[in-house]
Chains A and B, each alone.
Chain A
Amino acid sequence: MSFFFEVLIGGLLSGVMYSLVALGFVLIYKASGVFNFAQGAMVFFAALTYVGLLELGLPPWASVPATLVVMIALGLVTERVVLRPLVNQPQITLFMATIGLTFLIEGLAQLMWGANVRGLELGLQDEPIQWVTDKTGMSLSKFDLVAAAVAAILVTMLALFFSRTRIGRALRAVADDHQAALAVGIPLQHIWAIVWGVAGAVALVAGLLWGARNGVQFALTFVALKALPVLILGGFDSIPGAIVGGLIIGASEKLAEVYIGPFVGGGIEGWFPYVLALVFLLIRPEGLFGEKIIRRI
């Protein structure tokens, strides 16, 4: 029984990691209606830049802000060069543009920093917490718990930001209707700049944590793909949804692998979240927390 809980909690915690990536998606979607497929590439880019700067001799306390600056710059350039020209196009066009952006960022990242796999040290070990193991017989990773805490703090801050502050309200207005937002005097360009900057920061946090966990390698970009089922479950425009969705995906993925996997040869993790999301979509097309879309004719 405790094994079940161990797998469950391990899954929940890894789900938190997915949530971090999904958060970036949600931010951009909430504020600009754009589904940024390139979020995963941005996570990869952030991690790679951080490690690259370290290799160049920068100490960690300087490398983090420097990377943050780079990420914000990347976000601003993206908004200016890719999204602004496409502002009135249908969603599918914007989505495909972000697919193109993904490849662009991936190529750029590797061009700048090389394609070697690197480790990332955050001073946290991925080892079980002793007193938990003593008390319950389960191994819970210290790393995972810290990651979960970080995610919780981040989510709370972002949720408060969106609902309580003036800028947050402006962001929600922009996401709902660009024209109307312009009509009431909300400065669209500034708003988008802020959003992409924040998304870049979130990508940095996600990049650091993921990089520390799995090493900084190209496969990191595929994490973004896993964020898609998370978003489907949680809704594309809900911050709490990103967390809940991440938890569900993480937990179900691990549980499926452990309990169903052996019967079918293993490797279920690769497709299980997608099939789960698919089934979910059939029942509730707008996600757990998303808004129902009403179309008038």
Chain B
Amino acid sequence: MLYREAGQFKTSYQTDTAIFPIRQDQIAIVVVVAVAFVAVPLLATPYIFTGILIPFLILALAALGLNILTGYAGQLSLGTAAFMAVGAFASYNFMLRIPGIPILLAFAGGGVIAALVGVLFGLPSLRIRGFYLAVATLAAQFFILWFLTKVGWVTNYSSSGVITAQQVVILGHAFTTPVSKYLLVLSIVTLMALAAKNMARGNAGRSWMAVRDMDVAAEVIGIRLMRAKLLAFAVSSFYCGVAGALFAYAYLGTVEPEAFSLDLSFRILFMIIIGGMGTVLGAFLGSAFVTLLPVLLSVTVRFLDSTLSLHIAESTISNLELMVFGGLIIFFLIVEPHGLARLWQIGKEKLRLWPFPH
């Protein structure tokens, strides 16, 4: 009897199009936000921030970006990490070469540069489709990483190719502690997730989904394919670029191009497949899953080690991880191609009827 819409009538289109139309959902989201912004900083340990929450949020942002491109617009991309790298290194150069630039502006600038690069590598999508396009994005992945490694200017001629992110200072306040970094990342990610949701339910999102579902029909009703596809690449790469900048500044600290390898691109692709393509929630669920799974595995191994004296090698764990990811991808694609987000929705529908079965 908890989750009922009975009695909640929408009297205007405005309320009908709200992101959380059901009262219970509205309360829930307020609780979630309160917990995230207030309770967690008070209760969590530094490890939880640096090891779990911050990477979860940053990769969720990147997954959001990839979701816009692959989930909503249907353009498969295997180059997500490369666009993150562009954002990271571009932000670094903005901070380095423009003295006194506000760091948030540098992040945005990194995102914009990533967006431009995204549009460049997205141009082939006008002629190529499906997994041919995936190969084009592979070209982006390999070329961009090579470029960032070879062109000395990008890394300020550092001999090892490694850059050190500058300190994050906003309005005089230095963000050095895990808690402060967490709150910074949380704020940025929340705002950008909201923006993504707005775009998705508006004309841009509908145009993207039309292109994904049947691009010939989309053209016939007047949607410009080129504009829609390139916009998807631009927005997606902007999100990935900002995520990359945050990756460098709020998580890693010292960055080299190899941190943004093909492996990371696959990881983010897994996030949206498991989480649910074409949904904002899916990016977060997927990121949570992929971030938490290694933690869960190592905790289990440690538990087995201490209680049963069952010693499992590090390499075995990482191989198991690979197998579990691979297996889960296949599992989800077979059982629920729409991922965890859909399972969540089904759960809510069942909750609506509870305690009745149907």
Q: Do chains A and B touch in the complex (CB under 8 A)?
A: yes
Q: Is the CB of B326 within 8 A of A281?
A: no
Query: B134's closest neighbor in chain A, by CB?
Result: A95
| A100 and B128 in contact, given A95-B134, A270-B146, A278-B136 (Cβ under 8 angstroms) | no
Q: Mark A254-297, 1 if CB is under 8 A from B, else 0.
A: 00000000001111101100110110011001000000000101
Q: Is the CB of B273 within 8 A of A96?
A: yes
Q: Is the CB of A103 within 8 A of B322?
A: yes
> Inside 8 A of A93's CB, which chain B residues have their CB?
333, 337
Tell me the bound Cα distance from A134 to B337 in angstroms: 61
| A99 and B143 in contact, given A86-B334, A107-B320, A265-B150 (Cβ under 8 angstroms) | no
9 nearest A-B pairs in the assembled complex, by CB-CB distance = A100-B329, A104-B326, A107-B322, A103-B326, A274-B139, A107-B323, A271-B142, A271-B143, A265-B150
Q: Is the CB of A232 within 8 A of B319?
A: no
Interface of chain A, main secondary structure: helix
Residue A184, interface by CB 8 Å: no
Most buried by A among B74, B128, B262: B128
> Inside 8 A of B74's CB, which chain A residues have their CB?
92
Residues A94-108 near B (CB distance < 8 A):
95-97, 99-108
How far apart are A45's CB and chain B's nearest CB, in angstroms? 13
Q: Is the CB of B333 within 8 A of A97?
A: yes
How far apart are A248's CB and chain B's nearest CB, in angstroms? 15
| A229 and B135 in contact, given A110-B319, A267-B146 (Cβ under 8 angstroms) | yes
Query: A277's closest neighbor in chain B, by CB?
Result: B135
> Inside 8 A of A86's CB, which chain B residues have their CB?
333-334
Residue B216, interface by CB 8 Å: yes
Residue A124, interface by CB 8 Å: no
Apart from A100-B328, A282-B127, what 9 extra A-B contacts exist at CB < 8 Å? A82-B330, A86-B334, A100-B329, A101-B326, A107-B322, A108-B323, A228-B138, A275-B139, A285-B127
Residues A228-268 near B (CB distance < 8 A):
228-229, 232, 264-268
> Inside 8 A of B216's CB, which chain A residues have their CB?
295, 297
Tell me the bound Cα distance from A271 to B135 in angstroms: 11
Residues B175-225 near A (CB distance < 8 A):
216-217
| A100 and B326 in contact, given A228-B138, A271-B146 (Cβ under 8 angstroms) | yes
How far apart are B1's CB and chain A's nearest CB, in angstroms? 38
Residue B131, interface by CB 8 Å: yes
Please report the number of residue pairs spanning A and B whose Cβ atoms sit closer than 8 angstroms: 125
How far apart are B337's CB and chain A's nearest CB, in angstroms? 6
Residue A225, interface by CB 8 Å: yes
| A99 and B329 in contact, given A89-B337, A265-B150 (Cβ under 8 angstroms) | yes
Residue A59, interface by CB 8 Å: no
Q: Is the CB of B143 within 8 A of A274?
A: yes
> Inside 8 A of A275's CB, which chain B residues have their CB?
139, 143
Residue A123, interface by CB 8 Å: no
Q: Mark B319-358, 1 if CB is under 8 A from A, else 0.
A: 1111111111110011001000000000000000000000
Residue A44, interface by CB 8 Å: no
13 of the cross-chain contacts (CB-CB < 8 Å) are: A100-B273, A100-B326, A105-B326, A110-B319, A114-B315, A229-B135, A232-B132, A265-B150, A266-B150, A274-B135, A281-B124, A281-B128, A297-B216
Query: A95's closest neighbor in chain B, by CB?
Result: B131
Q: How many residues of B contact A (CB 8 A)?
A: 42
Residue A143, interface by CB 8 Å: no
Q: Is the CB of B128 within 8 A of A282?
A: yes
How far apart are A114's CB and chain B's nearest CB, in angstroms? 8
> Inside 8 A of B46's CB, which chain A residues have their CB?
none
| A232 and B322 in contact, given A97-B333, A99-B266, A99-B269 (Cβ under 8 angstroms) | no
How far apart are A232's CB and chain B's nearest CB, in angstroms? 6
> Inside 8 A of B124's CB, which chain A residues have their CB?
278, 281-282
Residue A35, interface by CB 8 Å: yes
Residue B130, interface by CB 8 Å: yes
> Inside 8 A of B130's CB, which chain A residues have their CB?
91-92
